[in-house]
């Protein structure tokens, strides 16, 4: 089971990857939205913003997020680490229910370019 530190490191790596992207991927990541990433097996949520093509983690809270973010991810810690390391395909994990992504329809359409 991934630790809180490993999950935070994975989010930092994902942020770096998004910031270094080009073209459609960069434009899709350029949203300015509140973001939460709930790690179910650790019962924690990383709360922050997707801004300027980066993920800014502002807080880590126990349990579910205190407020509903505009973009919400839910998954196990091992799945987060595996996705960021390229060992787990996001679309397949999302389709099988291992990963949940919730957002408004327009945001989902833009975010699909990241997949």
pLDDT tens-digit profile of 22-54? 776 666 667 899 999 999 999 999 999 999 888
Domain ranges of the chain: 4-108
The whole-number pLDDT of residue 45 equals 98
Helices (H), the chain: 4-19, 23-29, 77-84, 90-96, 105-111
Mean of pLDDT values over 81-107: 92
Mean of pLDDT values over 56-61: 96
pTM: 0.90
The whole-number pLDDT of residue 34 equals 96
Contacts of residue 20, defined as CB under 8 A and 6 or more positions apart, other chains included, come to: none
Quote the CATH superfamily of domain 4-108.
Answer: SCP2 sterol-binding domain (3.30.1050.10)
């Amino acid at each position: 089971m991934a630790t809180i530190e490993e999950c935070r490191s994975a989010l930092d790596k994902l942020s770096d990857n998004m910031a270094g992207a080009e073209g459609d991927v960069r434009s899709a990541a350029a949203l300015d939205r509140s973001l939460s990433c709930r790690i179910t097996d650790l019962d924690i949520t990383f709360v922050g913003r997707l801004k300027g093509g980066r993920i800014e983690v502002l807080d880590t809270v126990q349990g579910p997020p205190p407020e509903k973010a505009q973009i919400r991810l839910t998954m196990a810690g091992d799945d987060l680490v595996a996705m960021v390391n390229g060992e787990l395909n996001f679309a397949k994990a999302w389709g099988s229910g291992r990963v949940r992504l919730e957002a408004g329809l327009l945001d989902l359409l833009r975010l699909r370019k990241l997949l």
